[in-house]
């Protein structure tokens, strides 16, 4: 009887150890994901600050949409 109870206890211990290892691996993976997301959030907050700046918006508009100021001519030069 003691052997059966001992066997069940060892089996439960092994199962719990395996579950703990799986949870630790999942925790590490989620912590890495959290770090990446926090970095992305910081980058996006910086972009929000920049987009509230009129000079930055003008720079983007000039670069991406070839908008010009009064009296200015834009020449497209191909880069090889």
pLDDT of 7-47, one tens digit each? 999 999 999 999 999 999 999 999 999 999 999 999 999 99
Q: Rounded to the nearest 5 degrees, what angle is found at the Cα of 21, between the Cα atoms of 17 and 25?
A: 170
Q: Which of 27-31, 52-56, 64-68 has the highest mean pLDDT?
A: 27-31
CA distances from 53 to 23, 38, 58 (A): 45, 23, 9
Q: Please give the pLDDT value at position 66.
A: 77
| pLDDT at residue 75 greater than cutoff 90 | no
pLDDT attached to residue 44: 97
pLDDT the model gives residue 68: 78
């Amino acid at each position: 009887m003691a052997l059966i109870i001992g066997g069940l206890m060892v089996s439960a211990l092994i199962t719990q150890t395996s579950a703990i290892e799986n949870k630790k691996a999942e925790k590490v993976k989620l912590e890495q994901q959290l770090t990446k997301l926090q970095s992305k959030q910081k980058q996006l907050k910086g972009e929000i600050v920049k987009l509230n700046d009129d000079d930055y918006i003008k720079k983007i508009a000039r670069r991406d949409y070839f908008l010009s100021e009064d009296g200015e001519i834009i020449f497209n030069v191909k880069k090889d």
